[in-house]
Amino acid sequence: MKGNKPNKKMITGTVISDKMDKTVTVELKTRKRHPLYKKFVRQHIKIKAHDEKNEVTVGDLVKIVETRPISKDKCWKVTEILKKA
């Protein structure tokens, strides 16, 4: 399989912070069923993503894609803004 790039993960989330230079924090919300109690539990994770043009603001719905490590915490990149805040 030389030369073939693997499929990269693409996810959508809401921007919760844009205070850093060329970096935004994106929150992903999920609902999972608890294995024992069968109750739906809300979970969220925060991901730092690279925003080259600094055009994303808090509250925007964005699509991010997995990329090579850009820094210690960043390995995601903003590809498009789905809905402005």
Q: What is the CATH number of the domain that holds 49?
A: 2.40.50.140
**How many folded domains does the chain comprise?**
1
Does residue 5 sit within a domain?
no
**Separation CA 71–CA 38 (nearest Å):** 39
Query: Residue 1: pLDDT above 60?
Result: no
pLDDT bin (cut points 50, 70, 90) of residue 2 is low
Does residue 34 sit within a domain?
yes
Enclosing domain of residue 55: 10-83
Q: Work out the mean pLDDT of the chain and round it to a whole number.
A: 92
For 84, what's the count of Cα atoms within 13 Å in the CB-facing half-sphere? 2
Q: Which residues contact 1 (CB under 8 A, 6 or more apart)?
A: none
Does residue 68 sit within a domain?
yes
Q: Is the pTM of this model over 0.85?
A: no
Does residue 48 sit within a domain?
yes
- Condensed to tens digits (0 to 9), the pLDDT of residues 8-49 reads 899 999 999 999 999 999 999 999 999 999 999 999 999 999
Does residue 38 sit within a domain?
yes
Does residue 3 sit within a domain?
no
**Separation CA 27–CA 17 (nearest Å):** 9
Query: Residue 3: pLDDT above 70?
Result: no
Does residue 31 sit within a domain?
yes
Does residue 4 sit within a domain?
no
